[in-house]
Amino acid sequence: MDRKDFLPVSKADLLERGIEQLDFVFISGDAYVDHPSFGTAIISRVLEAHGFTVGIIAQPNWRDPESISVLGEPRLGFLVSAGNMDSMVNHYSVSKKRRKKDFYSPGGEMGKRPDYAAVVYANLIRRTYKKTPIILGGIEASLRRLAHYDYWSDKLKRSVLIDSGADLLIYGMGERSIVEIAEALQSGISVRDITFVRGTVYKSTIDPVGEDVIRLPAFDKISTSRELYAKSFYRQYQNTDPFTAKTLVEPYPADNLFVVQNPPQMPLSTEEMDDVYALPYARTYHPDYEPLGGIPAIEEVKFSLASCRGCFGACSFCALTFHQGRIIQTRSHESLLEEAKQMTQDPDFKGYIHDVGGPTANFRQPACKKQLQHGVCQNRQCLFPEPCPNMEVDHRDYVALLRKLRALPKVKKVFVRSGIRFDYLITDKDETFFRELVKYHVSGQLKVAPEHVSDGVLRMMGKPQNSVYRRFVKRYRELNEEMHLDQYLVPYLMSSHPGSTLQDAVRLAEYLRDLGYMPEQVQDFYPTPSTISTCMYYTGLDPRTMKPVYVARDPHEKAMQRALIQYRDPKNYELVTEALIKAGRRDLVGTDKKCLLRPRHGDLRFVQKTQTPPAKPGKAKRPGTPNSRKWASGKPQQSRPGAWSAKDKRGK
């Protein structure tokens, strides 16, 4: 790609384009990828489409104040984003160990952005430009817009707007908000007076009052009372719908400030979504990164289509309710087909569209008609604990879209790799989508997210009962057998979520034993900002009911729960043994086929438990051999990537 296909990133680019001063300079924690899967690209291209000039400073050296001056002072303001991920999630695993690779940096190199990047970048700008407006955005700012629990420092933190010294914060996706702000600044309105834009948060020395204003507890109060914080958080959670939300005010007495959150922006129409995705993106990373090995994150999205936004699934551990909201917004078939045709012209395209989806692939419409006029329900979910009787389950539009994409010239296969909401799918009385999903859109393995098997844990997660998943598995197996296909289910599972005890973790291990499956990857619950689950982790209370919740906070117990899911891995022997003893399940250590572990030779903890009568004459068979284990599909397990096979070693 030519440099001219990208937004300016250097003074030389400005000179070549005849730009003396940019309207906005965008500081990003990610490398510059001009693709609609990257927030920096979307916001910048939207501003450009409205006549504003934007330059990109990607991953500036936060130790050098000069690094944010390479494009000069912008006429209207600086835009700041930590990137497509919260910088702390980007940097650290749940065990708080430094990650080795950053997929949003050149060559995957780690260390190109600071911890708490939004705060660091904004403070860096303010050291040089005392009065230039600074506007925060992106996922990190969005989920830290009010007081929040910070897992990495293990304390409650103030709104990022205060710590950063920025003037305004945009939460959510931000296309409408940024244009309104830009036009207000263009008209001469001071950034301090831009207090009227939906989807924004601002600071004030005046306490707003009115019928549409909700006053949250002051920061000094929630800092000393976890119960009060849980109540405050749930009040915020109930005010994420653009139709019903009110203005939220969070006082900071020590700073003599009020942080004020305006109601969210209204959902984008299909036409507006189409316009956003039709902008002239280069659809790849900037050519400056080519000698450095490119940007790994592009590989996941280069040949994928984003068909929708929002999610009414509302899992407790997911921040989508706070960021994109629960109302589904979709692109038209024409828009998606046009983008797919562009993909087929790419010299690297091999005939495979890797995904057609969004937060949840099979959500292509609001849960019910009333949502587009009255918003979502404040005190009930669409799918949990049971599907709402008003919910309209309909896959016809998605089926029609996938059929059109499959029919495109040069397209060999269209995969669906975004999350499939299996409880929504199995509720649909019309099996057309389920059948076509199995027949055309699975790449050998379908990934789904039951997360756990214990109904008590699932209730804390906001997920359906395990019986719903079992019903889905049964039908998936039947359809594969009917179509003579050899396709598997790969379940995503989570350990040590609030509500999960060691006994619950053992039940999950027993389920995997019966399934004959050991996942290669396990997600240990990660307390990221602004989720119900994180609130439970910090407070020990379910904010929805204010009832106590068991929380595994001790890193060693978390390690045991995680190890139980991968109990066959020899390196987990000691952790699994300890967990079984603590859970009172010594019966699961032995040579019986129902046991999870065979005790190692000389392990005195199980001497009495493992004495067995002499073997009968005849051919010996090693207990627990893999030939009796089955996958979720009900077929014998094969030795294949990502699957446990007979060749894998077991603990002795």
Average pLDDT over residues 515-521: 82
The pLDDT of residue 363 is 95
Q: Is residue 652 part of a domain?
A: no
Contact indicator for 516, 486 with CB cutoff of 8 Å: no
Q: Are residues 479 and 354 in the same domain?
A: yes
Q: Are residues 302 and 196 in the same domain?
A: no
Q: Cα separation of 524 and 502, whole Å? A: 14
The reply to whether 315 sits in an annotated binding site is yes
Q: Is residue 189 part of a domain?
A: yes
Share of the chain above pLDDT 90, in %: 85
The pLDDT of residue 1 is 73
The pLDDT of residue 606 is 67
Contact indicator for 421, 327 with CB cutoff of 8 Å: no
Q: How confident is the model at residue 520 (pLDDT cuts 50, 70, 90)?
A: confident
What are the structure tokens assigned to 343, written together? 């993909």
Q: Are residues 432 and 571 in the same domain?
A: yes
pTM: 0.90
pLDDT greater than 60 at residue 651:
no
pLDDT greater than 70 at residue 318:
yes
**Ramachandran bin of 27, using left for φ above 0, alpha for ψ from -120 to 50, beta for the remaining angles:** beta
Q: Is residue 266 part of a domain?
A: no
Average pLDDT over residues 238-242: 94
pLDDT greater than 70 at residue 632:
no
The pLDDT of residue 604 is 67
Q: Are residues 401 and 538 in the same domain?
A: yes
Q: Are residues 156 and 28 in the same domain?
A: yes
Determine the number of helices (DSSP H) and then strands (DSSP E) in the chain: 23, 24
Average pLDDT over residues 564-586: 94
pLDDT greater than 80 at residue 347:
yes
Q: Is residue 182 part of a domain?
A: yes
pLDDT greater than 70 at residue 618:
no
Nearest CA-CA partner of 397 in 389, 388, 405 = 405
Any idea what the Cα angle at residue 482 is, between residues 476 and 485, rounded to 5°?
75
The CATH number that applies at residue 27 is 3.40.50.2300
pLDDT greater than 90 at residue 622:
no
Any idea what the Cα angle at residue 434 is, between residues 432 and 437, rounded to 5°?
105
Q: Could you say which of 147, 174, 200 is where a domain stops? A: 200
The pLDDT of residue 366 is 93
pLDDT greater than 50 at residue 650:
no
| DSSP string for residues in 130-190 | SSS-EEEEHHHHHHTSSSEEETTTTEEE--HHHHH--SEEE-SS-HHHHHHHHHHHHTT--
Checking 288-292 for CB contacts under 8 A at 24+ apart, the result is 288/9, 289/31, 289/32, 289/106, 289/107, 292/106, 292/107, 292/109
CA distances in angstroms from 435 to 439, 440, 487, listed in the order given: 6, 9, 13
pLDDT in tens, 349-407: 999 999 999 999 999 999 998 898 889 998 889 998 899 999 999 999 999 999 999 99
Q: With 0-12 CB in 10 A as exposed, 13-18 as middle and 19+ as buried, what is 37?
A: middle
pLDDT greater than 70 at residue 233:
yes
| DSSP string for residues in 14-47 | HHHHT-SS-SEEEEESS--EESTTSHHHHHHHHH
pLDDT greater than 50 at residue 102:
yes
Contact indicator for 58, 501 with CB cutoff of 8 Å: no
Q: How confident is the model at residue 625 (pLDDT cuts 50, 70, 90)?
A: very low
Average pLDDT over residues 65-92: 97
Q: Could you say which of 174, 200, 226 is where a domain stops? A: 200
Q: Is residue 456 part of a domain?
A: yes
Q: Structural domain tally of the chain?
A: 2
Q: Cα separation of 490 and 10, whole Å? A: 46
Q: Cα separation of 353 and 349, whole Å? A: 9
Q: Is residue 268 part of a domain?
A: no
The pLDDT of residue 614 is 47
Lowest mean pLDDT among 46-55, 229-238, 369-378: 369-378
**For residue 543, what is the enclosing H or E element?**
none
Q: Could you say which of 166, 200, 234 is where a domain stops? A: 200
- Residue span of the structural domain in which 569 resides: 297-579
Q: Are residues 311 and 189 in the same domain?
A: no
The reply to whether 535 sits in an annotated binding site is no
The CATH number that applies at residue 371 is 3.80.30.20
Nearest CA-CA partner of 459 in 349, 540, 549 = 549
pLDDT greater than 60 at residue 621:
no
Average pLDDT over residues 157-164: 98
User: CB count, 10 Å around CB of 58?
Assistant: 25
Average pLDDT over residues 218-222: 98
The reply to whether 311 sits in an annotated binding site is yes
The pLDDT of residue 607 is 58
pLDDT greater than 80 at residue 627:
no
**For residue 548, what is the enclosing H or E element?**
strand 547-548
Q: Average per-residue pLDDT in the chain?
A: 91
